[in-house]
Amino acid sequence: MLSSLETLPTSIEAYLLEAGFSSTELLILKRLLEDDALTLRQIASKTGKSTGVLDQALKKLLRRNIVTKESINDTIKYAIVSLQSIAKWVEEDTQQKREMLQRRRQNFDAFIHSLEMNQKRPDMQFYDGDEGIVLAYRKLLEFSKETLHYFPVVCSIEDDPLRDFRVDYFRERRRRGVFSRFIVHNTPLGRRFASRDPFEYRKTLLIPEDQHPISFEKVIAGDVIACFNHGEKRVCFLRYPELAESERRLFERVWKQQENVLGPTPAAVPSSTPVVPLSTRTFSSVREFFLTKKSIALFASFALIAGTVTYGLYSENFNLNVQRVRERGMAIATTAATQIDANDINQIHSGMDAKKPEFQALLKRLCLIKSKNENILYVYIDRPTNDKNEPWEVVADSGYGDPTLIKDWNHDGKIEDWEQLNSPGQRYPHPDFDQETELSRVSSILVEDEWGNYYDSSAPIYDRNGKVVAVLFVDIGLQQVRELTAQSFTAILCFIGIFVLLVFIRLMAFNRSLVMEMWIILQLRQTLIALSICVGILFIVLLWFFFVR
């Protein structure tokens, strides 16, 4: 028997330990089964435990009627009553634990039942003051994905004390996807309230004032009915599922009855699956996007990027047109220089020579060049001098005899001789550092002086011996460059186009579901047919403008 107990399987020992036996008690039982009766000191010597620990364990075994205490030869010894006593105690202990677990289960069921009973009882909460109203509105967002409102519109949005909060509240509703439907009276204020529906992520139904009285705001959200008294700044929450369901059905009935009068409304659907109109989703998303501080900074960045790109494109286009104007001026000067007779130039040296037929021939030729080419400011012929301070001398000028060219160019209050350089023999008072270039080849430079900003193109005039006798100058103003740039490049349209493109990309990233809905709509057959008709009409109009106009 001893060997069998000393080699108890782990599962049996674990079972006895779970039944309430301690390891010390199991050790005592093994030694008592080995020797029928032992004193306390004998048990201590065989188990290696102290007598104090063994005494406490033996008292427990005595109370369980598993071990008995006997006096043998005037010595107190302990012995096991019987093996059946152990089995009986284990059975009784197991039964007690089973009954205890059964009572716990019954207590838990009673607790759950009491909770269910309490949940069916109406629960009321109250909020006071402006902070209480704000807190109540925010709590409504936790109960449902759609809120139904009976709303008395008594003031405009500008006069609403909660105007700033309602902006933040709209953004929070839009972020959480909580759609709202409102029933308001058909008054001027009510119609103005309904006009902002697409921007407020809501749908409003207008009803006659005598059809349904609305003296305070009532909101149905989930199983909660909220009553807002804005005059006294009090809010009451009533959590009553049956009453909330009844109010919701009444709201839907009023909504559908008015629908039959006004026509179908996209938002008139059960609150469990609210369908938000595409226009509302679009405008409310745009409004939410524009309200954030980050969006303002983002728009500023977009404007800076669009402006930088536009300026770069404009500068590139401007430079290309500058090159075109320079080449045009050089071409005019080169062509006209070959038509000038050097002998006529040699006959003109002073203002007295203006009556000679050679001067009249040159003047007629210069005026013809100016009249046949647009945007030319001045056409004139100058010959070089040996004076470094006055390097050029006038031969002929297309503005000869034009009184409009005689004025105070430097705005010093008097008209000097050099300010009317259109008579033969007059000289320039300023040095010219490009004289060598202008005498040797065709050139064009940008000039900014008293006569304005223009491109000065020049071509040398040769005599029969190939010697340069004079230079023909053709001045084209920057106005032509600006006109050409404006014709081929509209900066404001380019800026707006780039800016709108960046905003559209941001909106796509901001609300992908909205973009997906728009993409689905574009794929509908009706939409494709409408787009095809519009493209066809546009094509016909363009053909008509091209061939008829």
pLDDT for res 417 = 53
More confident of the two residues 213 and 546:
213
Q: Select from 240, 196, 461, 466 the least CA-distant residue to 344.
A: 461
Looking at residue 251, its pLDDT comes to: 92
Let me know if 448 is exposed, middle or buried by CB neighbors in 10 A (0-12, 13-18, 19+): exposed
What does the DSSP 8-state code read for residue 153?
A: -
Q: Check: CB of residue 214 under 8 Å from CB of residue 181.
A: no
With b for 16 or more beta-carbon neighbours within 10 A and e for fewer, the 170-189 pattern comes to bbebbeeebbbbbbbbeeee
Q: Using only C-alpha atoms, what is the Rg of the chain?
A: 52
Q: 324 and 425 share a domain?
A: yes
Pick from 219-228, 295-304, 529-538 the range whose average pLDDT is largest.
219-228
Residue 455, φ and ψ in degrees, nearest 5: -100, 120
Task: Report if residue 207 sits inside a domain.
Answer: yes
Distance separating alpha carbons of residues 182 and 333, to the nearest angstrom: 77
242-255 average pLDDT score: 90
C-beta of residue 186 within 8 angstroms of C-beta of residue 209: yes
Residue 131's domain is classified under what CATH number?
A: 3.30.870.10
Higher pLDDT, residue 277 or 87: 87
- Report the first-to-last Cα separation within the chain, whole angstroms: 123
Same domain, 32 and 169: no
Domain for residue 296, yes or no?
Answer: no
Greatest Cα-to-Cα distance within the chain, rounded to the nearest angstrom? 173
In the predicted structure, residue 429 carries a pLDDT above the cut 70: no
Of the ranges 194-208, 291-305, 480-494, 521-535, which is most confident?
A: 194-208
What the block records as the tokens of 469 is 């006798």
Whole-number Å distance between alpha carbons of 89 and 67: 12
**Residue 424 and residue 298 in contact, taking contact as beta carbons nearer than 8 Å:** no
pLDDT band at 5 (very low <50, low <70, confident <90, very high): very low
Question: Are 333 and 479 within one domain?
Answer: yes
pLDDT digits 0-9 by tens, 386-395: 777 778 888 8
Q: What six digits make up the tokens of 315?
A: 């500068």
CA dist 444 and 331 (Å) reads 10
Residues 348 and 396: their CA atoms lie apart, in Å, by 9
User: Cβ of 38: how many Cβ atoms within 10 Å?
Assistant: 19
Q: Residue 479 burial (CB < 10 Å; 0-12/13-18/19+)?
A: middle
208-240: b or e for each residue (b if 16 or more CB lie within 10 Å)? eeeeeebeebbbbbbbbbbebebeeebbebbbb
Per the domain annotation, does 292 fall within a domain?
no
pLDDT at 236: 92
pLDDT at 318 over 70: yes
- Is 29 in contact with 86 (CB distance < 8 Å)? yes
Residue 547: inside a domain: yes
CA angle 78, 84, 88 (to 5 degrees): 105
Structure tokens at 342: 């050097």
Judge whether 473 and 454 are in contact, CB under 8 Å.
no
Please say which residue of 94, 114, 147 terminates a domain: 94
pLDDT, tens digit, 9 for 90 and up, residues 96-116: 777 887 887 877 777 766 655
Q: Is 32 exposed, middle or buried (0-12, 13-18, 19+ CB in 10 A)?
A: buried
- Total domains in the chain come to 4
Residue 240 pLDDT class (50, 70, 90 cuts): confident
- Domain assignment present for 526: yes
Task: Check residue 480 and give its pLDDT.
Answer: 62
What domain range is 22 assigned to? Answer: 2-94
Q: Residue 351 CB: number of other CB atoms within 10 A?
A: 13
The domain spanning residue 429 has which CATH number?
3.30.450.20
Q: Are residues 262 and 375 in the same domain?
A: no
Residue 253 inside a domain? The answer is yes
CATH number for the domain that contains residue 59: 1.10.10.10
Q: Is residue 26 part of a domain?
A: yes
Q: How far is the CA of 251 from the CAs of 142, 206, 226, in angstroms?
A: 20, 13, 14
Instruction: Determine the Cα–Cα distance for residues 305 and 311; give it in Å rounded to an integer.
Output: 10
- Calculate helix-pair angle for 478-488, 293-337, nearest 10 degrees: 130
